[in-house]
């Protein structure tokens, strides 16, 4: 996958359908291999937001590939004292081989990418969460064998997950439906970009009707109703989002072989019920484990490691 060496991943749209397919196949291959092609390579994790799965999966993935990861706490770096992002980017560019950033503004990622020669990875921004969707696509491929023609329905807040799922599904030839309240729809520019990618080949639907959205779908997906930084809005959103809860009643309206996914952390009995999380159609823990495998493939590809 030399074509990805040295590249940035700020948005899933940075990669082609063929490149994402190669990444997913590499992730499956790496599951059965113990290799250390990234010896002496160093990954930096610069996180402005809390993280469990993203932080740990990147740390372990880099370790298992033979490299080292440094967890950079922004509160103890000069960023917390007002050092310009451009200056921090240029300094870290001289120390690290690759940098994953979890931040608020997508423009912060763009600044780092513009000021660095090393690959920059979007480990979550308010606009997108591409690393999560790589793991989601990997899980769907493992469950169904092929992604082409599958229908994924996302229920809830039109947040960064909805945005990245739109792009990821369209790129991989999947139908994608987003069901959310009127005032909580995904980013309009990304919806239009997704429709251009789909170009009449696959369905792109944004609707307020959750029942319409889940009909015949093979993958039902949800996320918290208030993202990080919006916790003070969580309680007031519950009555607005209640019709979009991923529960057994909605799951029964989907394809009989449908699976349930959640990017976690979950607020049980809010956006998803305990019965669905623990049910036979849940693939949530497989999905969480696949974060590490998808990111192994990503790290190896961006750093050009051979094995």
Q: Is 87 in the active site? A: no
Q: Is 129 in the active site? A: yes
Biggest CA–CA distance in the chain, Å, is: 54
Q: Is 7 in the active site? A: no
Residue tagged active-site, from 53, 131, 223, 237: 223
Residue tagged active-site, from 132, 141, 218, 245: 132
Q: Is 53 in the active site? A: no
Residue tagged active-site, from 53, 291, 293, 295: 291
Residue tagged active-site, from 263, 283, 287, 295: 263
Q: Is 237 in the active site? A: no
Q: Is 223 in the active site? A: yes
> CA angle, corner 212, sides to 151 and 138, nearest 5?
20
Residue tagged active-site, from 8, 53, 97, 102: 102
Residues with a catalytic annotation lie at 102, 129, 132, 223, 263, 291
């Amino acid at each position: 996958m030399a074509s990805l060496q040295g590249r940035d991943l700020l948005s899933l749209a940075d990669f082609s359908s063929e490149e994402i397919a190669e990444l997913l196949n590499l992730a499956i291959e790496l599951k059965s291999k113990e290799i250390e092609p990234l010896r002496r390579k160093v990954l930096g994790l610069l996180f402005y937001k809390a993280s469990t799965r993203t932080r740990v999966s990147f740390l372990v993935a880099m370790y298992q590939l033979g490299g080292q990861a440094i967890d950079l706490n922004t509160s103890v770096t000069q960023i917390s004292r007002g050092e310009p992002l451009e200056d921090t980017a240029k300094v870290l560019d001289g120390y690290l081989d690759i940098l994953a950033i979890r931040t608020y503004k997508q423009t912060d990622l763009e600044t780092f990418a513009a000021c660095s020669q090393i690959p920059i990875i979007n480990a979550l921004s308010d606009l997108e969460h591409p690393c999560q969707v790589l793991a989601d696509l990997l899980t769907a491929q493992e469950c169904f064998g092929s992604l082409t023609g599958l229908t994924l329905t996302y229920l809830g807040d039109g947040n960064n997950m909805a945005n990245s799922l739109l792009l990821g599904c369209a790129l991989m030839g999947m139908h994608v439906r987003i069901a959310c309240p009127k005032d909580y729809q995904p980013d309009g520019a990304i919806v239009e970009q997704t429709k251009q990618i789909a170009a009449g080949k696959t369905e792109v639907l944004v609707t307020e009707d959750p029942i319409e959205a889940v009909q015949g779908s093979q993958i039902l997906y949800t996320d918290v109703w208030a993202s990080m930084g919006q916790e003070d809005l969580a309680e007031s959103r519950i009555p607005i989002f209640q019709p979009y809860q991923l529960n057994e009643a909605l799951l029964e309206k989907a394809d009989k072989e449908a699976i349930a996914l959640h990017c976690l952390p979950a607020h049980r009995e809010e956006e998803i019920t305990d019965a669905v999380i623990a049910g036979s159609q849940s693939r949530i823990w497989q999905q969480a484990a696949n974060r590490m495998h998808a990111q192994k493939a990503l790290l190896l590809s961006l750093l050009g490691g051979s094995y």
